[in-house]
């Protein structure tokens, strides 16, 4: 039976611990160098269509679909190698590992992400994040729909969720209410999307950088959860 903890920490990956925007920019430059601007733009069109279909980013899946359209492109394998062998550790935000270490001193700390079944796990492993959280990694198709499974695996009286998407934070807050402290690091393009900022209520805690969480002690994080759950998403 899963033991119950006073608090558990759930931390997103892309643009929360890792600067995924820079990874995408590096891939864009590599694609343009290898296949030219027109085909680079075609890859991203395929990528966005696939993300709309699946609900998560699938870089390798988009590459497979690109391959169907351009089956004789000799540069395809170089792009695949670029993705699989990318030095993800170089894109960790400053102090992100220190934040995970601080969290681990307070309770179970879990990487909570969504994504494909190959590239996302490899990113978590090669960046050092898997080791930093003692192998506690959950990668779902839609993580906000899997809260029952998260609770089953990491049962806690209170959760601290750190994510760069207000949509995710709002959904989890509506499900767990005062049992969760939502933390919003304003990093990456999603965190600065004017539409999202206008649509969803603010998180319990907002910081400019993930490293800013080192200034918080555990009582401050726990106390940040309001006594009432936020109102429904504004339309």
- 41-63 mean pLDDT: 91
How far is Cα 56 from Cα 69, in angstroms, rounded to an integer? 22
Segment holding 133, helix H or strand E: none
CA distance 205 to 187: 14
The reported pLDDT for the residue numbered 190 is 87
Length of the chain: 235
Q: How far is CA 22 from CA 27, 111, 119, 124, in A?
A: 9, 20, 16, 16
SS3 141: coil
CB 34 within 8 A of CB 79: yes
Give the strand order in the sheet containing 180-185. 137-140, 109-114, 5-11, 156-162, 180-185, 205-207
- For 171-207, the pLDDT digits (tens) are 999 999 999 999 999 999 888 999 989 999 999 999 9
Its pTM stands at 0.90
Domains (range + CATH), the chain: 5-18+92-223 (3.40.50.1000), 20-88 (1.10.286.50)
* CA-based R_g, the chain, Å: 19
How confident is the model at residue 226, as a pLDDT? 78
Integer CA distances (angstroms), 112 to 87, 149, 157, in order:
21, 12, 18
Give the SS3 label for residue 185. strand
Beta-bridged to residue 7, according to DSSP, are: 158
Q: How far apart are CA 207 and CA 214, in angstroms?
A: 11
Which pLDDT band holds residue 68 (cuts at 50, 70, 90)? very high
DSSP assignment of 194-226:
HHHHHHSPPPSEEESSGGGGGG--HHHHHHTS-
Stronger pLDDT, 214 or 60, i.e. the higher one: 214
Where is pLDDT greater, at 75 or 1? Answer: 75
Q: What does the pLDDT look like over 107-143, one tens digit per residue?
A: 999 999 998 888 899 999 999 999 999 999 999 999 9
pLDDT number for residue 225: 86
pLDDT of 227: 58
């Amino acid at each position: 039976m899963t033991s119950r903890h006073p608090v558990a920490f759930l931390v997103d990956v892309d643009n929360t611990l890792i600067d995924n925007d820079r990874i995408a920019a590096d891939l864009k430059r590599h694609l343009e160098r290898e296949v030219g601007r027109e085909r680079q733009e075609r890859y991203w069109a395929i990528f966005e269509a696939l993300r709309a279909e699946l609900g998560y980013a699938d870089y390798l899946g988009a590459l497979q679909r690109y391959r169907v359209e351009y089956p004789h492109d000799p540069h395809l394998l170089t792009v695949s190698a670029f993705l699989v062998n990318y030095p993800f550790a170089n894109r960790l935000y400053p102090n992100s590992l220190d934040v995970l270490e601080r969290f681990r001193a307070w309770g179970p700390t879990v990487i909570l992400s969504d994504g494909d079944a190959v590239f996302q796990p490899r990113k978590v492993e090669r960046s050092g994040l898997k080791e930093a959280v003692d192998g506690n990694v959950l990668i779902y198709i839609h993580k906000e729909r899997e809260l029952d499974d998260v609770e089953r695996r990491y049962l806690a009286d209170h959760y601290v969720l750190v994510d760069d998407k207000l949509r995710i934070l709002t959904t989890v807050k509506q499900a767990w209410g005062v049992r969760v402290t939502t933390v919003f690091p304003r990093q990456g393009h999603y965190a600065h999307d004017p539409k999202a900022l206008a649509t969803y209520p603010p998180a319990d805690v907002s910081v400019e950088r993930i490293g800013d969480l080192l200034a918080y002690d555990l009582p401050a994080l726990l106390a940040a959860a309001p006594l009432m759950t936020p109102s429904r998403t504004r339309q």
